[in-house]
Structure 1
Amino acid sequence: MDWMMLVLSAIVIIAVVVYFSFFYFQRRYAHEIALQKEEINKFTGSTVQEQLQDAEKSKLAGETLSHFEETKQDYRYMVNHDMPEILERLDELSVSNERYRFFEVGRELKLIEAKIIAAQKLELQTKKELTALKRSNSEHQKKIKELEKKYQNLRKTLLAKNFSYGPSIDQLEDRLASIEKTFDTYTKTALGGDYIKSSKILNELTKETVQLEKMLKAIPPIYRNLKNVFPVQLKEITAGSQQMQGQGYRFKDDPAKKITELKNLVAESIIGLTKLETVEAANYDQKIDQGINQLYDELEAELKARAHVEKGQQTFSQFVKHARSNQHELLLELDRLNQNYTFNHNELAEAQELEQQLKTIEEDLATFKKDVTKEAVVYSEVLAKRNKQTEQLRQIEKKQTQIGNSVQDLWQEEQAARNAVKEFDLEIHRLKRDLEKLHLPGLSKEYLDYFYTVSDEIEALSVSLEKTKINMEEITKALLDVQADLDALSEKTNDIVDSSALTERVLQYANRYRVRYPEVAQAANEAYALFNQKFDYAASLEKIATAVDKVEPGAYKKIEDGYYHTQNGKEQE
């Protein structure tokens, strides 16, 4: 019984849900149908129809008329045919909605909504085109007035200033006449209502007018230069260059040739203006102007150059003479020194190079003086060369001083070297005497070899200084080597003197231990052998000093201190 109640409850609930769902969709679609009808009714009250009627009253023709007719037909077909069909279909959907055919209603409403949106877009586009059509009429009316006034002004300009356009005037008038003819066509087309075609004509007309205005602005200054400015300037340059040539001036490039070339450019430019080739004429104008300015600069440069050259002639000549005097003294000094000394830094070659540079400058100076008498001098070239040669002379004298300084101390260096060799000789003889005073049994072969090597080096250095032509650079290097070797020999000699003297003292001191300490006696015998037979005084000292320090620690240090104290006392005396 309970399950029967549950089933019945479920059925009741489902029925209620279905009822309310049908009620919801029915009301929703009814509302949407009403909204769509309102949107369609708006087309009936639109002002587009009135705008179309007003446009029909306007005078239209050609492409503009065709385009308008197409726009009008599309819009009226939409309003008079499409919209009624949609209204009829909405009425049918209202019936279907009452019969609960919701799927059909929903599907059709979406299609109708899309059609209404398309119709709204068509209406908006139609409004824009009608507004543009109205604006085109106004703008063309305004443009006609503006252009008519502009062409009147252009005609007045050509009439009033025809002298400013020279050979261009006929072509300019023809060009203006052609533009005015096009303007007439534009006016007829625009007033006839074909705004699309008239707009195309207007674009071309505007372009031609701008070109003509540019020509009218560009030609007068160009023609003025060609007619008045350039001829006067070229005449002035011709007279000036001829006068200067009569005064002895010469030019790197013939001014007459350049003047002829510029006159030809003037003639070509005038022909170009006849054909309204304003771009080419402007290029010629710039080229001619640059050429004339360049000629002026060249004439002025020669005038200034001559003044500079003549003003600095004496100073430059004295500079050359001074450099020549320095060069003469330098070559004499080098020749004298070269007889006794070897040059190691290309002094002679560098001096010869300076000689060649100086000769070239002197030859150029002589040529200039000769050319001046012949009136064959291009002063700008001379000035440029003079500036370079003045700097070259500064460098020549600077180099002369450097070379002179590098060789002037050779004699002093030679005397210093001779004094050094004498000192070396005295020093090595002193070392020999110091050893002879000790009456040693002999000297080691190693020491004797080193002694004789140093002695030979001193002798070789002395021989080098006695040559007819000495090489001070090699001698200076040898002096350094001999000094180092002599210092080493002196150190070796002092070691022998000190070692032999200390050995004798330690051996005498060791006699007190020979009887009691056999090892001391043995060390003493070996030390005597090293001293008298092998002449190794350092080894002999080490042998006996080690043995004595073992039996009496610190004994050697005491003997050594006493020895050096005595030696220092003698040195102080």
Structure 2
Amino acid sequence: MVQVLIGIIVLAIILYGSVFIFQQVTTRRVRSIQERATDLTKLGVDQQVAAGRNMSLTGQSLAAFNELAKMFRDVDEKQLPTLNKLLDKVLHDVRGINFVKTRREQKQAEAMLTTATDQLDHVQQGIDELKKVDGEHRAAVEHLEKKYQDLRKVLLSQNLSFGPSIDKLEQNLANLEEQFDQFTTLSNQGDHVAAQEVLDQLTTGTTELENLIEVIPPLYADLKSGFNDQLTDITDGYQQLAAQNYVFGDIDLPGQVNRIRTEIQASTRSLANVDVAEVTTVNHNIETQIDDLYAVLEKEVKAKPQVDEQRAELQEFVDHAQRQNHALQVELDRLSQSYLLNHGELDNAQSLGDQIHQVVELQQTDENAIVAHTDSFSNIEKHQSEQLQTLTQIEQDQRQINDSVKELPQQEKAARDRFQRFDNQLHTIKRQLEGMNLPGLPKDYLDYFYVVSDEVEKLGGALSQTQINMEDITKQLVMIQADIATLDEKSTDLRDSALLAEQMLQYANRYRDNEEMSVASAHAQHLFDKEFQYATALETMANALETVEPGAYQRLENNYYGTTSTD
């Protein structure tokens, strides 16, 4: 029983403590909300609203301000008083035990305070923005007023520099001044939203007028005097050159000058309509055409001294080419009596002669044109340059032909010398083999010998022709050189094998009692005497001798070649 009583007392104490803590916490929060609500009344929003009423606002600006003032009144006259009553009620209810209701009322009060705070911030920001716009518009009035005064001064003081566009420019300025008056009226009335729309139009129109005032004077200067002065200069230059017998081919320079003057008039009319894009395009085209006409005159003036200078050079080059071609054809004709010319050298030389003749005809045509004044110096200079290039190529081609044949006599002499050496080599090889008194020669060696002999004989026949084909002879020389070197090597091997085989057969006589050696000697002697296979006979004896006297063959071979074995 005592324990139950103690438990009840403890529970009561806990409940009392919890109630006390809730009351204290809630009371502090309510006091905080009251202080923040009081701070809202000290922001001076009422003063800002009152000051805003003194601004000259109309139209959309006034409607915006009225909406902000209405929002302020709602907060000041309804929301904050309601909030204070609710806070008083929370302070009263917190002494009771309806915790849920008290908590709900506290949260409601916090939400009301947040809403009021946001709305007052919105009111402040809105009024500040209206003040800013009001100040900007007033400043814009002053800025635009000064700008229009400057534009008016420029149009009045420099009206001649705008040519026929001055009327349009002054009309544009008048339109802008009307818009400016409208903007000023709206700004002074405080209808800043409507004034902003007019200000945007004014800004665009003013920028366009400023740009026109900047770009039109140089465009008009070109149309008024720049282009015409240049055309006069071109006409004077053309007449002076024509008087000096300059020819301009198919170019109708006076006609082009007249056409450009017509384009200048059309561009001037476009300028009167302030069509700056069209005027800019046409003026650029006129400028390009004038540059082209200057280039035509300059081209002919520069071409004349070049023509005069190249006339003598071309004549000298023609004379040289003709002499060179004549000498080449004479030399080719002479050489063709003794040599076959396999690459059309005569035809090529004659073709080059024809080309020279064509150059001479073109040269004469240009000379006649110079005398009769029927062609422009630039065309003649072009012809001369092409003819000089042609003659340069002809000279190179003629030199190449001459270089390809001028060595033919020396080549023939060298070929005959080599033929004689080849013939002597064959006779030497033949005498050396005959001097060995061999029983015969192997068939493969004889076949090769006769092949080489026929080649040398064929070479001699080619050299004895009335017209020598040096190209074919050169190929034969290369082939014979290789074949006779091979024959010489085969002859040396044959001679060495035969002599060594004879020495081995003689040396083997000391082993004639040896049956194997006797058989080998008989077989080797048969190969030597009957089949003329001297290398095989030598190999047979070397193998047999190595079995009865190791090292004997190597010793005999070293003695033959005059060397000492390294084994």
Matched residue SS, 1:440: coil
Q: Is the 8 A contact 2:310 2:384 kept in 1?
A: no
Shift of the 190–447 alpha-carbon distance from structure 1 to 2, 3 Å rule, reads same
Give the one of 10, 20, 25 matched to 1:23. 20
Distance of 1:295 and 1:43 partners within structure 2:
83
Matched residue SS, 1:98: coil
Shift of the 478–17 alpha-carbon distance from structure 1 to 2, 3 Å rule, reads farther
Q: Which amino acid aligns with 2:177?
A: E
Q: Is the 8 A contact 2:75 2:120 kept in 1?
A: no
Partner of 1:528: 525
RMSD: 2.6
Q: Is the 8 A contact 2:173 2:209 kept in 1?
A: yes
The alpha carbon displacement at 1:440 in A equals 1.8
Confirm whether residue 62 of structure 1 aligns to residue 77 of structure 2: no
Partner of 1:511: 509
Q: Mapping of 1:196-207 within 5 angstroms?
A: 196-207=193-204
Give the one of 125, 132, 143 matched to 1:135. 132
Q: Which amino acid aligns with 1:286?
A: H
Partner of 1:233: 230
Confirm whether residue 165 of structure 1 aligns to residue 172 of structure 2: no
Q: Which amino acid aligns with 1:177?
A: A
The alpha carbon displacement at 1:214 in A equals 1.5
Partner of 1:304: 302
Partner of 1:571: none
Shift of the 519–224 alpha-carbon distance from structure 1 to 2, 3 Å rule, reads same
The alpha carbon displacement at 1:338 in A equals 4.1
Q: Which amino acid aligns with 1:313?
A: R
User: How many pairs are equivalent?
Assistant: 562
Give the one of 81, 89, 92 matched to 1:95. 92
Confirm whether residue 431 of structure 1 aligns to residue 429 of structure 2: yes
Give the one of 544, 547, 552 matched to 1:547. 544
Distance of 2:21 and 2:336 partners within structure 1:
131
The one-character-per-residue Cα deviations of 1:32-63 (angstroms, maximum 9, x if unpaired) are 21111222222322322112122213322111
Shift of the 207–350 alpha-carbon distance from structure 1 to 2, 3 Å rule, reads farther
Confirm whether residue 367 of structure 1 aligns to residue 365 of structure 2: yes
Shift of the 97–258 alpha-carbon distance from structure 1 to 2, 3 Å rule, reads farther
The one-character-per-residue Cα deviations of 1:349-387 (angstroms, maximum 9, x if unpaired) are 765665565444433322211211221222223334444
Matched residue SS, 1:228: helix
Distance of 1:282 and 1:323 partners within structure 2:
56
Shift of the 408–60 alpha-carbon distance from structure 1 to 2, 3 Å rule, reads same
The alpha carbon displacement at 1:231 in A equals 1.0
Distance of 2:221 and 2:238 partners within structure 1:
25
Confirm whether residue 83 of structure 1 aligns to residue 80 of structure 2: yes
Matched residue SS, 1:59: coil
Confirm whether residue 284 of structure 1 aligns to residue 282 of structure 2: yes
Partner of 1:570: none
Shift of the 19–458 alpha-carbon distance from structure 1 to 2, 3 Å rule, reads farther
Shift of the 175–445 alpha-carbon distance from structure 1 to 2, 3 Å rule, reads same
Distance of 1:94 and 1:384 partners within structure 2:
113
Distance of 1:463 and 1:21 partners within structure 2:
143
Distance of 1:20 and 1:351 partners within structure 2:
133
The alpha carbon displacement at 1:274 in A equals 0.8
Distance of 2:468 and 2:7 partners within structure 1:
139
Q: Is the 8 A contact 1:500 1:537 kept in 2?
A: yes
Distance of 2:201 and 2:539 partners within structure 1:
123
Q: Mapping of 1:126-525 within 5 angstroms?
A: 126-252=123-249, 253-343=251-341, 347=345, 351=349, 354-355=352-353, 358-514=356-512, 516-525=513-522
Shift of the 10–455 alpha-carbon distance from structure 1 to 2, 3 Å rule, reads farther
The alpha carbon displacement at 1:161 in A equals 2.2
Confirm whether residue 74 of structure 1 aligns to residue 71 of structure 2: yes
**TM-score, normalized by length of structure 1?**
0.90
Q: Is the 8 A contact 2:168 2:273 kept in 1?
A: yes
Partner of 1:569: none
Q: Which amino acid aligns with 1:170?
A: D
Distance of 1:457 and 1:414 partners within structure 2:
17
The one-character-per-residue Cα deviations of 1:253-275 (angstroms, maximum 9, x if unpaired) are 32223212321221111001110
Distance of 2:29 and 2:350 partners within structure 1:
116
Distance of 2:356 and 2:176 partners within structure 1:
76
Q: Is the 8 A contact 1:248 1:376 kept in 2?
A: no
Q: Is the 8 A contact 1:26 1:100 kept in 2?
A: no
Matched residue SS, 1:99: coil
Shift of the 442–198 alpha-carbon distance from structure 1 to 2, 3 Å rule, reads same
Q: Which amino acid aligns with 2:294?
A: Y
Distance of 2:466 and 2:105 partners within structure 1:
132
Distance of 1:207 and 1:342 partners within structure 2:
92
Give the one of 47, 51, 63 matched to 1:50. 47
Confirm whether residue 123 of structure 1 aligns to residue 99 of structure 2: no
The alpha carbon displacement at 1:66 in A equals 1.4
Unaligned runs of 5+ in 1: 567-573
| Worse overlay, 241-250 or 380-389 | 380-389
The one-character-per-residue Cα deviations of 1:102-160 (angstroms, maximum 9, x if unpaired) are 44444444444344333323222222222232333333333323323332332233222
The alpha carbon displacement at 1:251 in A equals 2.3
The one-character-per-residue Cα deviations of 1:454-484 (angstroms, maximum 9, x if unpaired) are 1111122222223344332332222111111
The alpha carbon displacement at 1:389 in A equals 4.3
**TM-score, normalized by length of structure 2?**
0.91
The alpha carbon displacement at 1:166 in A equals 1.5
The alpha carbon displacement at 1:313 in A equals 2.0
The alpha carbon displacement at 1:68 in A equals 1.3
